[in-house]
């Protein structure tokens, strides 16, 4: 621990440890516990549209809007889902340090904090309301299983997320910023007009939105 500003603190190192400690193998009990934890942390994606059709057939999807985080999910509920034009078609089951979804297989809002909705008038438009925490070791699995169920050709994905104003890096004082405000990131394939200014450097996106 540093005692004054600028002091060089040597980080702990594993160099010099006994060879016996380095070569210590995982015990059968440790291996069993690790496998159980890995199994428990597996993500399950359940779709109602697959109950009567082919399980391997990809879902036709033209637009996929994902709201990640409580604020983004609340925005989706207030301004888009507050109508009878949507139906629940899927749910994500996951378990980690901050999220405990139900083990039931029913697709109900009370069973999960990550739900998929389909526009009744246009079934190729999907929304995802993800207000739960997805751990780092689960993010790739989340993406793989969710997007693995959809066709990729002609698919436009929009991600909605929020972050604290204090994390926003700018030369101006954050006290003078009108909050909330919007910034956007886009890929080179997106050719449409962006509805707000692009996110300035060196700001970055983290966690599931970045994945």
23 domain-assigned: no
Q: What is the pLDDT of residue 156?
A: 93
Q: Measured between alpha carbons, how far is 9 from 14 in angstroms, rounded to an integer?
A: 16
Burial 81-100 (b: 16+ CB within 10 A, else e): beeeebebbbbbbbbbeebe
Any idea what DSSP says for residue 17? -
Residues in the chain: 211
Model confidence over 104-142: pLDDT tens digits?
Answer: 444 444 445 789 999 999 999 999 999 888 888 889 999
Give Cα separations from 66 to 10, 21, 56 (angstroms). Answer: 43, 46, 23
Model confidence over 55-110: pLDDT tens digits?
Answer: 567 888 999 999 999 899 989 988 888 877 999 998 888 877 777 665 544 444 44
Q: Is residue 168's pLDDT more than 90?
A: no
The residues pairing with 86 across neighbouring beta strands, listed in sequence order, are 119
Any idea what DSSP says for residue 42? -
177 domain-assigned: no
Q: Measured between alpha carbons, how far is 204 from 63 in angstroms, rounded to an integer?
A: 24
Gap between the terminal Cα atoms of the chain = 34
Q: What is the pLDDT of residue 47?
A: 86
Residue 138 domain boundaries: 40-160
1 domain-assigned: no
Q: Is residue 197's pLDDT more than 80?
A: yes
49 domain-assigned: yes
87 domain-assigned: yes
Q: What is the pLDDT of residue 104?
A: 46
CB atoms inside a 10 Å sphere around CB 27: 9
Q: Measured between alpha carbons, how far is 97 from 103 in angstroms, rounded to an integer?
A: 16
CB atoms inside a 10 Å sphere around CB 17: 9
202 domain-assigned: no
166 domain-assigned: no
198 domain-assigned: no
Q: In sequence order, which ranges of 8-59 are alpha helices (DSSP H)?
A: 19-22, 28-40
Q: Measured between alpha carbons, how far is 128 from 7 in angstroms, rounded to an integer?
A: 48
Number of folded domains in the chain? Answer: 1
In this structure, are residues 126 and 63 in contact, taking their beta carbons and an 8 Å threshold?
yes
Q: Is residue 43's pLDDT more than 50?
A: yes
Which is more confidently placed, 166 or 103? 166
Q: Measured between alpha carbons, how far is 105 from 111 in angstroms, rounded to an integer?
A: 8
Q: Measured between alpha carbons, how far is 69 from 34 in angstroms, rounded to an integer?
A: 29
In this structure, are residues 116 and 91 in contact, taking their beta carbons and an 8 Å threshold?
yes
Q: What is the pLDDT of residue 107?
A: 45
Q: Measured between alpha carbons, how far is 62 from 156 in angstroms, rounded to an integer?
A: 6
Lowest mean pLDDT among 7-21, 45-59, 69-83: 7-21
Q: What is the pLDDT of residue 157?
A: 93
Q: Model confidence at 4, in pLDDT bands (50, 70, 90)? A: very low
């Amino acid at each position: 621990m540093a005692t004054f500003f600028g002091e060089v603190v040597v980080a702990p190192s594993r160099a010099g440890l006994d060879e016996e400690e380095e070569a210590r193998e995982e015990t059968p009990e440790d291996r069993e516990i690790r496998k159980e934890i890995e199994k428990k942390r597996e993500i399950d994606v359940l779709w109602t549209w697959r109950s009567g059709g082919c399980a391997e057939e990809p879902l036709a999807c033209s637009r996929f809007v994902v709201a990640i985080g409580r604020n983004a999910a609340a925005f989706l509920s207030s301004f888009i889902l507050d109508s009878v034009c949507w139906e629940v078609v899927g749910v994500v089951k996951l378990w980690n340090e901050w999220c405990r979804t139900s083990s039931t297989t029913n697709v109900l809002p009370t069973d999960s904090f990550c739900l998929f909705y389909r526009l009744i008038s246009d079934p190729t438009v999907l929304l995802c309301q993800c207000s739960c925490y997805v751990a780092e070791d689960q993010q790739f699995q989340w993406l793989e299983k969710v997007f693995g169920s959809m066709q990729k050709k002609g698919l436009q994905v929009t991600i909605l997320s929020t972050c604290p104003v204090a994390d926003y890096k700018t030369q101006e004082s954050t006290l003078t910023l009108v909050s909330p405000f919007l910034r956007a990131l886009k890929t080179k394939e997106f050719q449409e007009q962006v509805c707000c200014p692009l996110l300035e450097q060196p700001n970055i996106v983290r966690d599931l939105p970045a994945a």
